[in-house]
Amino acid sequence: MKTLTTGLLGFLLLTGVAQADVFVSVDAKGSYVLSNVHRPGRTYERVIRDPQSSLVSLDQQPQMIARQPYAELVSAAATAHQLPAALLHAVIQAESSYNAEATSPKGAGGLMQLMPDTARELGVKDVYDPKSNIQGGARYLKRLMILFDNDISLAVAAYNAGPQAVLSRGGVIPPFTETQRYVPNVLRQYRRLQGLAVDAPL
């Protein structure tokens, strides 16, 4: 790969593309893929480094997630429900700022701010128990991801406003002020923890 990446580097420099970090990886079909973002589950080699880049490096990304509060509980829930740990962290940050005792004016409680009826339906007996809350919140978020065909924006919107609010509008983010703020905040933190550019497609 060294010869290949050297050649690619020269080509990019000649064409004036080198304005940000650039990575090369091999996809499932054996083809080489160039990108200025990196995604979970792939092995990358950085061929261009932009000193001013705001992306989190490949070396820093796992440590950044591991340094978040409740990292082990989040990792276990992410694995159990096949969700990115970064997405769970982003939701927890937006919902409670990692305060396990948080209670909303509407009665939602715990790290992922589960409403009483939702908690009961998910089998969460104590919403203020971090492990139970994170597992329940992850289970609920996974359901929303399935419901909205893995569209992260819509799943996150539904987590905030309720799935019916999204479905009744034909699958768009509801126009509620809170939800309109909530979704970009969650996605911004998710991208940051994933090491993605702020405008990277999800």
Q: Which of 45, 72, 95, 101 is catalytic?
A: 95
**What confidence score (pLDDT) does residue 201 get?**
85
Task: Please check the confidence at residue 148 and state whether its pLDDT lies above 80.
Answer: yes
Domain chopping of the chain, boundaries? 2-54, 63-194
Task: Please check the confidence at residue 125 and state whether its pLDDT lies above 50.
Answer: yes
**Could you tell me the pLDDT band of residue 189, with boundaries at 50, 70 and 90?**
very high
The model's pTM is 0.71
Whether 95 is a known active-site residue: answer yes
- Of 35-44, 154-163, 187-196, the range with the highest mean pLDDT is 154-163
Helix (H, G, I), strand (E, B) or coil at 175: coil
**What confidence score (pLDDT) does residue 199 get?**
83
Helix (H) or strand (E) holding 35: strand 32-35
Tell me if 58 sits within 8 A of 44, measured CB to CB: yes
**Could you tell me the pLDDT band of residue 170, with boundaries at 50, 70 and 90?**
very high
Q: Which residues contact 180 (CB under 8 A, 6 or more apart)?
A: 173
Closest of 19, 64, 96 to residue 194, by C-alpha: 64
Q: How far apart are CA 46 and CA 109, in angstroms?
A: 42
**What confidence score (pLDDT) does residue 133 get?**
98
Least confident stretch, 59-63, 95-99, 194-198:
59-63
Task: Please check the confidence at residue 176 and state whether its pLDDT lies above 90.
Answer: yes
| Mean residue pLDDT across the chain | 82
**What confidence score (pLDDT) does residue 37 get?**
52
CATH number of the domain located at residue range(s) 63-194 in this protein: 1.10.530.10
**Could you tell me the pLDDT band of residue 101, with boundaries at 50, 70 and 90?**
very high
**Could you tell me the pLDDT band of residue 1, with boundaries at 50, 70 and 90?**
low
Per-residue pLDDT averaged across 146-150, rounded?
A: 97
Residue 18 half-sphere exposure, CB side, CA atoms within 13 Å? 14
Cα dist from 141 to 37, 163, 165, whole Å: 25, 11, 15
